[in-house]
Amino acid sequence: MSRFFRGGESDSDSESDDYSSSDQEQRNKDSDSEANSDSDASASSDSDSDADDNKKAAGGANRFMRGFAASDSDEDSEDDSKRVVKSARDKRFDEMRTAVKGLKNAQKINDWVAIQNEFERLNKGYSKAAAIIQREGVPRFYIRTIIELEDFMKEALTNKDAIKKMNASSSRALNAMKQKLRKHNKQYEADIEKFQANPVDEEASADEAEAAAAKKIVRKPASDDSDSDSDDDTPAGRDKWVKVSGDEQSDNDFDQKKAKKRAANAAAADGKAEGADDFQVVGKGGKVFEVKPENLFKKLQEIIEARGKKGTDRQVQMDHLQKILDVAVSPYQKVKVLLALIPSRFDSAPTSTGYMAIDVWKNAANELNSLFGFLEESSNIRVVELSEEEDEETVAEGKFKNGEEVTIRGSLNSLIDRIDDEFTKSLQHIDPHTLDYISRLRDETVLYALLVRAQKYFERIDFTLAVDQTKMRRIEHLYYKPDLVIQAVEKEVRTLYPTLNEELEEPVRLVENLCTSLYKTDVDRVRTRALLCHVYHLALHDNFQKARDMLLMSHLQDHVGQTEVFTQILFNRTMVQLGLCAFRSGLIRETTNALQEISSSGKVKELLAQGVQMQRYSEKTPEQERLEKQRQLPFHMHINLELLECVYLTASMLLEIPNMAANAHEPRRKVISKPFRRMLDYNERQGFTGPPENTRDHIMGAAKALAAGEWQRCQDLIHTVKIWELMPQADKIKDMLTTKIKEEGLRTYLFTYAPYYDSLGQDQLASMFDLPALQVRGIISRMIINEEIDASIDQPTNTIVLHRASAGDVSRLEHLAGVYADKVSSLVESNEKLLEARSQHLGLQQQQQQQQQRGDNNYRGGNNNYRGGDRNNNSTSKDGNNNKGGDRRGPARQSGYGGGDRNSNRSGRGGRGGAQSGRVGSPSTRKHPVDLPAFLLKRPSPSARGTNT
């Protein structure tokens, strides 16, 4: 393509213009010198980017052919030949807006690599426009973009499952963006706060930017060439002598009209800034929202009716209600507006994050405080939930001014519940290991003061149900906290709420008064939760006896399974705290009884609502998982699960090791703690056991040392566990554990070695286990009373005499010998049974063979006549009683060779006597396929032989 046409086509592209300009400098030096002189003249009056445009406009001879190039081009390239004039400001901001558009597209597909690239591109464009931004200020679309990007990142970080599924590059890009955005946004904290106070959508931001640009254009003097912008219609250099085409002329006219429009908008902005009364704020659709005290209630009713409808902008509604509140004069008007404004704040909670924005929550809390302030000042205003308003607003306002009592329909109790729930939701979603969680937790004091204020108001209007529910909310914010925190919160409440004239109570007394007042309520749920919170608070203060008695007298454990899930979670937390209290008090068996059910379930996290445990074959629906996540407690209310496991395993060790020693020889021994026994068996099966690394390894090693009688090593391993430092008075707990280990070590020693001794000295036992002699005597006395050992105490010699009265009191060697004898006898018995079955089988085979042999010998000839005479004739018997011959068809005889039918079943081969019916014949005529045992070949004694009838 000719260089003339290249120049005509390169007006809109900077790179091609630079190339064409440099090309013409090499080919035409005269034209290049003229172009340089023109560009230098224009550079003194324009910015850097404008100077580049003027160079491109004046570069080479093709600038004289621009008109002809446009006229000679095809219709398809007509749009490309149009001259588009943009200022440096528009170019830089368009580049930034293009990066913003790419950033939003990348957010839609969750591509963090593209998000990182577009963010760097946006910041690069921002640095290029530094001079313009320094003159005009940071563009609002840039602030809005980084705010939206930060919100999107927070939402992405909360979705742990999506982060785990990311590939390596996306994960690295996400982490890099997290660090970059945090450092980057610190530079614009003031601009971000200003934007959040008055958010502007994209269209409004663009109009505002245009107005600001036009404002600067209007204020510039016409003779000031140094500040002129490239939007000026005056051509630069030789372009002013060149005739342009009709399209370019129309473009210039369009630019002039656009500049005039900008000037008009700038004038409107100036008028607004100077407080001119000729301009009004116009909302969407060109409607003007104007509020006056006369039409206040009418506008308020319109907004209330539009609430919840499709297409209603909630942010606009909040802005309009805020304007109505500013216009309201009387307390009655302000109360009516606040009762509509506060619910609109709750409606703005986004569904993506699941909780209200913190600044919106704070606004709602401040407005609730203002509402209760107006209600306290104006005692003739009553806000009641279950009543109809008697009169219209204007009539009710007149009554209020006359001092008469006015009733307004509204639910303050629901507003209190909602703001408390939103606070809990925000704590559930914020990362507890960040400073944001700590700063958010400071707002709890404001919420607690609001609860106290609401309780006083409900008590004043005698709203019993709301009073009980508000007290329950107060208790739920207090019952798990230590005394110092409760005292600090109560003092801060009296600072925020000066009209509270109550004296500062002790924390234990305060919780007791609140819970006791709720025992009289008619709501079962409130009464049950108050009892559990009271028991939890008593257990937290080591008052185990009272807490246990209250829980047992309530019989709550019998029907707690029928209550709601939140109450069941509170019951589990109370039982855990009761078990920890028993452990701190040195009550080992009570500790195991309280923690047994929860610790052996394998689902401690779920039962305490402190997390969701991922299971391999989980059948939960997404709805169930969402509800389970909503039930999770905030992090500052959690009970340390590692401490819970350590306490349970330690208590189980102190009970299970003596129990195993006492029932060592019983096959069905009693099991106190199945989880502990399972862990101990697994640890003993390990081929190599290294040094303990975690809490569980320490306790398993201590258990094996205690079973072997090494109580000092057991003590060292238990004291090495660092988790005890998390408990109050850790040194006292370690001393208690040392005493318990010595006592249980003594009991285990007596159970294990009592069969080997006839007597033991008390002083020797006291020195072995480092216990006082009186304590040793007391332990042995309890064991004798409980019939755990058979012994007696000899006072003169100060010894323990051991008796072996029971048959079960045997040594280990005797026990093993008895087990061996039992196994040998069972083996011999099974062998005899096997041999007897085999012998019977062999006897039947031999009987069948002899019968077949006898038949072959007795039958001869074709007529099958018997040898030795007719069988029908009577023959003499061999023994005098037995008949050898006889009719074969005669009745079956009881005994004898001829007895029985040929077809009848015989159990033996026959014999001469009744006892010989199973005999197999004489040894001389018998053929044995195998050798038979001696007891089968032995003939029976004559006394055992029977006689034939």
Domain boundaries, the chain: 88-196, 290-304+313-477, 812-846
Q: Which tokens in the block code for residue 397? A: 């306002």
Q: Averaged over 488-500, what is the pLDDT?
A: 86
Instruction: Quote the pLDDT of residue 299.
Output: 87
Q: Averaged over 881-903, what is the pLDDT?
A: 41
Q: Averaged over 394-407, what is the pLDDT?
A: 80
Instruction: Quote the pLDDT of residue 351.
Output: 63
Q: Which tokens in the block code for residue 293? A: 């005290």
CA distances (Å), 26 to each of 19, 36, 62, 921, in order?
A: 11, 13, 14, 138
Cβ atoms within 10 Å, residue 705: 21
DSSP-based three-state secondary structure for 785: helix
**Helices and strands: H and E segment counts in the chain:** 41, 7
Q: If you ran DSSP here, which 8-state letter would residue 529 be given?
A: H
In angstroms, the CA 320 to CA 312 distance is 12
Instruction: Quote the pLDDT of residue 700.
Output: 93
Residue 161's contacts (CB-CB under 8 Å, 6 or more residues apart) are none
Question: Is residue 351 within 8 Å of 425, Cβ to Cβ?
Answer: no
DSSP-based three-state secondary structure for 691: coil
Instruction: Quote the pLDDT of residue 582.
Output: 94
In angstroms, the CA 687 to CA 685 distance is 6
In angstroms, the CA 11 to CA 20 distance is 10
Residue type, 433: H
- The pLDDT tens digits for 7-51 are 344 343 433 344 344 444 444 444 444 444 343 433 333 444 443
- The pLDDT tens digits for 580-627 are 999 999 999 999 999 999 998 888 998 999 988 766 666 777 778 888
Please give the distance of CA 90 from its chain centroid, rounded to a whole number. 49
Pairing of strands 799-802, 759-761: antiparallel
Question: Is residue 533 within 8 Å of 570, Cβ to Cβ?
Answer: yes
In angstroms, the CA 948 to CA 440 distance is 110
Residue 61's contacts (CB-CB under 8 Å, 6 or more residues apart) are 4, 24, 28, 31
- The pLDDT tens digits for 543-552 are 999 999 999 9
In angstroms, the CA 342 to CA 365 distance is 9
- The pLDDT tens digits for 671-718 are 888 889 889 888 888 878 788 888 999 999 999 999 988 899 999 999
- Dihedral sign of CA atoms 519, 522, 528, 530 in order: negative
Instruction: Quote the pLDDT of residue 155.
Output: 86
- The pLDDT tens digits for 808-858 are 566 677 778 888 888 899 999 998 888 888 777 777 777 777 777 776 665
Instruction: Quote the pLDDT of residue 362.
Output: 92
Instruction: Quote the pLDDT of residue 689.
Output: 78
In angstroms, the CA 104 to CA 118 distance is 9
In angstroms, the CA 199 to CA 135 distance is 23
pTM over 0.75: no
The CA radius of gyration of the chain, in Å to the nearest whole number, is 50
Range name among 82-96, 147-161, 300-314, 906-920 with the lowest pLDDT average: 906-920
Higher pLDDT, 230 or 317: 317
Name the average pLDDT for the chain.
Answer: 75
Question: Is residue 535 within 8 Å of 574, Cβ to Cβ?
Answer: yes
In angstroms, the CA 726 to CA 737 distance is 16
Helices 444-461, 464-476: axis angle to 10 degrees equals 160
Higher pLDDT, 296 or 893: 296
Q: Averaged over 935-941, what is the pLDDT?
A: 44
- Is residue 804 over pLDDT 90? no
Range name among 516-525, 691-700, 893-902 with the lowest pLDDT average: 893-902
